[in-house]
Amino acid sequence: MSDLAAKPIFDTTAPTVELNISVTPLKSSTDDLQGLVAVSEQRPFWQQPAWWQLANEHLFQGRVELIIASNDRQETLAAMPVLRQGGALLSPQHPHLTVGDSLWIGADSVCELDEIMDAILTHLGASSWTNGHLPNTSQIQLCQDQTHWQWKQVRESAWFDTTGDTPIPGKLRRNLARHQRKIEDLGELVYQVAQTDDTDELSAAMQNFLRLEASGWKGESGTDISKDANLTAFYEGLLGFTQQELKLEIHQLHLANNCIATQIALRCGRTLYLIKIAYDESQAAYSPGSLLLWQTMQRCVEDDTQTLSLVSAPNWASRWKPNVFPVWHVTRFSNTPQGAIRQKAYGFRNTLVNQLRETRNRMR
């Protein structure tokens, strides 16, 4: 994932400069946020201003604030959305935001990341900043060995290199080909991609996704997206992603003119991110979701996409043998007595949790 790899973002030979910290509500009209758009094209979708704004509007009901750190030349060095909870700053988290890194760092920063975080905590009088889902591709990973930080891996993110041949195991490829032959006996199988240049097609594809997502066990249990007005508005809000740096695509598999599988995807640069998948469970014997993923992977190889990301690493993905990188729970404590107390409390809690887990494992 070369376009997401962490790179040094500060000049270690430059003198330390005084940082200016501003805090504003995260709204679509925020001028400072709009200023980041021009330089965000190659960044992952979870660092895109439009993604932050949409999530804040529908998932957090406008409670998210935007922190901007700049130098004395008014150059933006860092930008991050946060929620305040007592004396702590939290990176916004939601079950439908499976990767939580939202830290934007300017390419010409002259301050070390640790200095930036300390200045933010000091300015806001906060004892800590926590991000529960920080991907290994975040530039802030450079701070992993710093004194006031605490790191714990919580899961992984799966991805495929699609610069060569379709990167799946031969046995899986043969099984998918067998499923495809069988399902084609039932009718014509057509793969389609709805993109931002066709609003009507995208809107119809979104309705297919919501229908399929509600057609199986989620609909029966009442946990499907369409049951939640805010979630529905969030996903339908993706239809507004028409800017160059963040494009919506909805990939579909049709059997005899009926949509049996669909994927919501976001494209940033040469990376395609699959953020949600739904399929017709009545056709589960033919693995329609896997057939759609296979078609999408082949298309990525053909259209010069560099990386296909699953964003999370679901259990079913293991048979595809993807590449993975860690996702971390990270906390930066302030350089204050309150921060030191909180850091010791976190350490004690983690030790206790690990001991309890080991005890349960021995008793099994």
Q: How many helices (H) and strands (E) does the chain have?
A: 9, 13
Classify 301 as helix, strand or coil.
Answer: helix
Encoded tokens for 285: 């014997």
C-alpha–C-alpha distance, residues 160 and 41, integer Å: 20
pLDDT tens for 95-121 read: 888 877 777 776 445 567 888 899 999
What is the number of other CB atoms lying within 10 angstroms of the CB of residue 137?
23
267, 250 contact by CB (below 8 A): no
Residue extent(s) of CATH 3.40.630.30 domains in the chain: 163-305
Q: How far is CA 60 from the centre of its chain?
A: 16
Whole-model pTM: value is 0.88
Classify burial at 74, counting beta carbons within 10 Å of its beta carbon; exposed 0-12, middle 13-18, buried 19 or more. exposed
Give the architecture (CATH level 2) of 2-158+325-363.
3-Layer(aba) Sandwich (3.40)
Single-letter code of the amino acid located at 12: T
Q: Residue 7 pLDDT > 50, yes or no?
A: no
59, 99 contact by CB (below 8 A): no
Q: Residue 38 pLDDT > 60, yes or no?
A: no
pLDDT tens for 235-257 read: 999 998 877 778 999 999 999 98
Q: Residue 14 pLDDT > 80, yes or no?
A: no
Domain 163-305 has CATH 3.40.630.30: yes
First-last CA distance in the chain: 40
CA distance to 71, 269, 310, per residue, from 318 (Å): 45, 26, 11
